[in-house]
Chain A
Amino acid sequence: MLKKRMIALFAVSALIVSGQAAFMGASHAAPRTVTVWSPFSGDGLAIWDAAIARFEKTHPAINVVSVGSVDMAKSLAAINAGTGPDISVANGAGNVGWFCSTGAWQNLNKNIASKTVGLDVKSIFPASVLSSTISVGNRCALPFAAEVVGMYYNKDMLAKAGFTKPPTTVEELTAYSKKLTTFDSAGNIKTAGFVPWVGYNNPYGFGAQDLGFMFGAHWYSPNGAPAFGTDPLWAKAFNWQKTFITDVFGGGNFTLGKSRLLKFTAGAGDEWGGDSDFMTGKTAMWIVAQWMAGAYCDNTGNWVLNPCNHPYINFGVAPTPVLAAMKSTNYGAGRFSAQPMGISKGSKNPTDAWEVLKFLATDTKLQIDYSNWGTSIPATKAALASKDLVYPAVYKTFFDIVAHPRSGYHPLMPTGEHLDEVELDDLMAGWQAGSVTNLSDALTSAGANVAKIIERQGK
């Protein structure tokens, strides 16, 4: 009897052990899955997916599921519901502060610093690129393609006015604009040199970000407090804007200049169509991102950047003009943001997701292929230096801007959907409309409002 029991016990034990071994073996053999949601579609997504296929080839144990055409709003909703992807890609850097502070994207500091699976981000990415992936010391994103802002200028219009090169300082910008701005017999603006008016050519047109950049104004003090009321360069920038409107468009009368500009900007052509004010020669210079070059380079309306043989207009690209006193240090730099990617809160496979994320951010071929296909600027030093990059000569300025040590994004704080930028744009709009009269108080108040937002939304 005892013998029989012993045999039975042995048999059961053997069964359990073998079953466990079989299970463990199976879990090792089955591929681990990482899901990646991105906003890419069409050919862009195909390039992205080809890179993912390359990754899977070198990492057979990891299966990457790529889903395109997903914006961050959808990703956030899924992350909130606990059904989000392992990795999501945002369209812009504006929300990175909020993603980092809420934990919607996981803090990557430990992964980056790891001796075994870490990443030497400073040697791989230019400093300008890295600035849009970190908030208050928490780097919760890695960069992909980049968006660079520069000043487009109409070479023919400038030449007609006697200028052989674009303005490099804000003082020159004013002087150029005075010469380039013309009026019709009724006093309406016929052509404008430059239009420092928030709301013009929006949503990607001139705003407080550009104005601040031109004057080297700081968004935040080293302790993280908004610096709008404390950095005198903000007041200087806003006063320059008002003087510009008064002198260039109003002949010394601010109300007249404002009124003329309001009418001029109301009649602006479609930024995305063939009748934008820059393309039709109504505005000689404007500050906008690199991807608009595709529209200006291709008079068939297909936004083909390369080889830029049939441009709409004879145009050039220069860095954003800066204050003359800062020219030696700041000219050549530009406002810049990378397309951020992060590992979602609740990722089921964060270890493998980190491997995938590292690859997507650092794969030189992906960076080059994506840049050559569209109009984006690569985010890694290796890709930026590659001879395989193909772009027209007019585009080189954007690459130079990325390389400039002073290029970058303003510090990203936990302010919801870039509400700090909204706050300053609102102030700028009130200032240009004349409804804000006490600039000092308004700047202090804007700073206090942003401080409140940070306090409410921060940890």
Chain B
Amino acid sequence: MGKSLVPSRKRGTSGPMQPRKKLKVPWVFILLCLSPWILGFLLFTAYPMIASFYQSFTKFNLIESPKWIGLANYKRMFSDDPDFWIAMRNTIWISVISIPLRIAFATFAAWILTKPKKGMKFYRTLFFLPAMVPTVAASMSFTYIFNPSYGPINNFLQHIGIKNPPFWFLDPVWSKWGLILLGLWGIGDTMIIYLAGLLDVPRSLYEAASLEGANSWQSFRYITLPLITPVIFFSGVTGIIGSFQYFTQAYVAAGQVNDYSHSMYFYATHVYFSAFRAYEMGYASALAWVLLVITLLCTMVILKTQKRWVHYPNGSLFK
């Protein structure tokens, strides 16, 4: 019998595990291995962040040297820039409406996908497919599909008796709803996480609940929902970060329909326009830093409240 590769611990023994032997690796070697990341971080993350922080206190138009103006960019943002408030309003709207809707829809879609007994893989692929469509192509397609003149959606709505269907992306009242629908259509990536969460719920809990006489709603409310709160928490945090950076879909759709009403003008669009249309790099940097602070605050609020509503399998719920 050959020598065991596991040096100290025998199977079935209950004694404490012996500590592994520490590898003696020279620091230089470790740093050398880490150097691609360190260099990348310093050049492409740390330096741009420091530079943009400095530039946020300057007037900088790309051509002339930055000129120190103190807090003027920040002051202007809150007191003298109507577009800032339009962008902020639109961004808050999309966050407040889209995040809960995405969570609910992803949960629902994932729940449906736990049901079929046959063709599970096919249905999962089908639901996930829209998430693989490039964002720009999807956004352009949606403006076509929802076109009030020749789009199939309005043709269908008129066919079923709705005489004056909405003008969707062309109507400031409906344009953001068009974007919400676009987001829900491409929910596949979030749905997969929810599906994993749902499949992770032990079946024994449902069986016990069933024996106790719980109906479907009660099983969902008291078993499924608490056990998928870590997934909800995760998608809430990433949703907030994503919604404050919401850009591509809105930029493409707004360009397609000439959104002069600014109903699809979001915070990230404002940063982009300030930087590359007004060439006000200093102001755009200030906008970017405010965006970071807002995102950070929102994330911190969710993190702080998670103790109250997020149940981890090894946490309070099972103690």
Contact = CB atoms under 8 A, between A and B. Distances in A.
A435 B261 contact: yes
Contacts of A241: none
Contacts of A73: 276
* Interface hub of B61, B64, B257 (most chain A Cβ within 10 A): B61
Given A76-B63, A102-B61, A416-B278, A429 B147 contact: no
Interface stretch (A34-42, A353-361, A379-387, A450-458): A450-458
Interface stretch (A7-15, A24-32, A263-271, A320-328): A263-271
Given A98-B279, A417-B277, A457 B61 contact: yes
A50 B303 CA distance: 66
A104 interface: yes
A144 B280 CA distance: 29
B27 interface: no
Max chain A Cβ within 10 angstroms of own Cβ: one of B80, B260, B276: B260
Contacts of A433: 172, 260-261
B318 interface: no
B62 interface: yes
Contacts of B278: 416-417, 419, 453, 457
A64 interface: no
A284 interface: no
A80 B63 contact: yes
For B167, B170, B278, the residue with the greatest tally of chain A CB atoms inside 10 Å of its CB is B278
A433 B257 CA distance: 14
B77 to A, nearest CB: 13
B24 to A, nearest CB: 46
Interface range, A side: 20 to 34
Contacts of A76: 62-63
Interface in A189-229: 198-199, 202
Nearest to B274: A416
B67 to A, nearest CB: 11
A198 B170 CA distance: 13
Contact of B64 (A102, A202, A452): A102
Contacts of B63: 76, 79-80, 102-104, 345
Contacts of A262: 148, 167, 170
Interface string A399-425: 000000000000000001101001001
Contacts of B150: 267
Contacts of A263: 148-149, 167
B262 interface: yes
B258 interface: yes
Contacts of B260: 198-199, 425-426, 428-430, 433
A433 B259 CA distance: 11
Contact of A103 (B64, B147, B262, B279): B64
Given A199-B258, A417-B278, A419-B277, A267 B62 contact: no
Interface of B: 59, 61-64, 80, 147-150, 167, 170, 172, 257-258, 260-262, 276-280
Given A98-B279, A417-B277, A419-B277, 7 more contacts: A198-B258, A202-B258, A263-B148, A266-B147, A345-B63, A417-B279, A456-B59
10 closest Cβ pairs, A-B complex: A267-B149, A429-B260, A199-B258, A416-B278, A102-B63, A266-B149, A417-B277, A104-B63, A80-B62, A266-B148
